[in-house]
Copies of this chain bind each other. A is one copy, B any other.
Amino acid sequence: MSTAQQSIAWSQVRARFHERGLRWTPQRRTVVEVLSAVNGHITGAEVVERCRSQDSETTPSTVYRTLDALEELGLVRHGHGADGREEFHVSPGGEHGHLYCASCGSRWEIGPDAAQAVLAAFREADGFQVDLSHVTVVGRCASCSASAGE
């Protein structure tokens, strides 16, 4: 896994901020610490909560603004879960989308094969370059549609 790479990336965050004339503050440090412990994805509310448990003074607006800044630096990407709630994908190296089964509620990642095929489909049809990691695609998983009640 890219765990080693990731830690390098996180250790460089401060420098990345400075490069852009942005400031390194205790609040941002907290957010980055929380994120560095995340593998995959996390909701906005969850980030706020974890920051709060590390520093009770944490304010939601600051967290969301820091998340925006980190997204601009390319360290996280935001998307939306099946319910439309914000979701942040950490470790941009491993871009991936999600599938959500509306029937049984399970979730899983979109495999590279499917991703390729889907990207190709959109590209051929409209020349559209989709970003599958932005949304959670909803539908029905294989077992649920097999036992499709109605």
A120 proximity list for chain B (CB < 8 A): 117, 121
Number of copies: 2
Q: What chain B residues lie within 8 Å of A136 (beta carbons)?
A: 135
Q: Is the interface of A mostly helix, strand, loop or mixed?
A: mixed
Contact of A135 among B110, B113, B137 (CB under 8 A): B137
Number of interface residues of A (CB under 8 A): 38
Please give me the 9 A-B residue pairs with the lowest Cβ-Cβ distance, nearest first.
Answer: A127-B142, A114-B125, A117-B121, A130-B139, A84-B84, A80-B84, A134-B138, A129-B140, A129-B145
- A→B interface (CB under 8 Å): 80, 82-86, 99, 101-102, 110-111, 113-114, 117-118, 120-122, 124-132, 134-142, 145-146
